[in-house]
Structure 1
């Protein structure tokens, strides 16, 4: 799922965080620029980091499609938000449907409901609830 688009120049995302590449935020400063090679390396590391968060904090078995949806979610909202979320509490209580449905609550940035987040969370929920095959 491609929600971020790729930006080589730093920009402030909807949550006012300096960002580049495909939603990479670590060490990004105003006026910084990255190469396509750096974007790919950052994306791989960012996804691996999100996978590690899901692996660390989820204590119940997941189907691949559920894992993928939650990795996408963590990639977007960050580890801390995931760790403190009702979504994680429901998931670890084996309320899989409830956890998947929680995704659609995360559609606000800086207090504003954003169409892009509504679209992303809806897609993540669909993947989470249904084994997805391209």
Structure 2
């Protein structure tokens, strides 16, 4: 499970919103702590409203499931808590499939932590457009990842 530091990183970038919105014009409807699906798996719709308790419960459930997926993805490679936290934040934003197919994960599993940390910066675009918010998030994830000694 991510540490309180990892959870705080995710929440700092996701920011809880209790009414569904589009993060960018080309995005999908999002609510709560960055959720695109409700607890039953249905897609979020514009106009949907959640309570804080529901947003927190969905976040906790999604985070737990994602942490298990990231744990499987690192496949027993030595992984410090800060590295795990950074990988979970990355996967929370982009999905476990993106992490599983990434050079970032391949380098991490190979023990090339410097190379893996450098890979975060490559994931700062929506389509071909660099987004400042994604650049800041990836820099924060890389910094957390690098705190592993």
Q: Same fold (TM over 0.5)?
A: yes
RMSD: 1.5
Matched residue of 1:3: which SS?
Answer: helix
Q: Separation in 1 of the partners of 2:128 and 2:46?
A: 23
Matched residue of 2:13: which SS?
Answer: coil
Greater than 2 Å deviation, 4+ residue runs:
none
Q: Separation in 1 of the partners of 2:44 and 2:138?
A: 25
Q: Once the 2 structures are TM-superposed, how far is the Cα of residue 13 of structure 1 from its aligned partner?
A: 2.3
CA shift digits 1:85-115 (9 cap, x unpaired): 1111111111111111111111001321111
Note if 1:3 corresponds to 2:13: yes
Aligned pairs for 1:1-134 within 5 A = 1=9, 2-14=12-24, 16-26=27-37, 27-59=43-75, 60-131=77-148
Matched residue of 2:14: which SS?
Answer: coil
User: Unaligned regions of 5+ residues in structure 2, if any?
Assistant: 1-8, 38-42
TM-score by length of 1: 0.92
Q: Once the 2 structures are TM-superposed, how far is the Cα of residue 131 of structure 1 from its aligned partner?
A: 4.2
Q: Once the 2 structures are TM-superposed, how far is the Cα of residue 71 of structure 1 from its aligned partner?
A: 0.6
Q: Separation in 2 of the partners of 1:102 and 1:11?
A: 29
Segment drifting more, 73-82 vs 10-19 = 10-19
TM-score by length of 2: 0.83
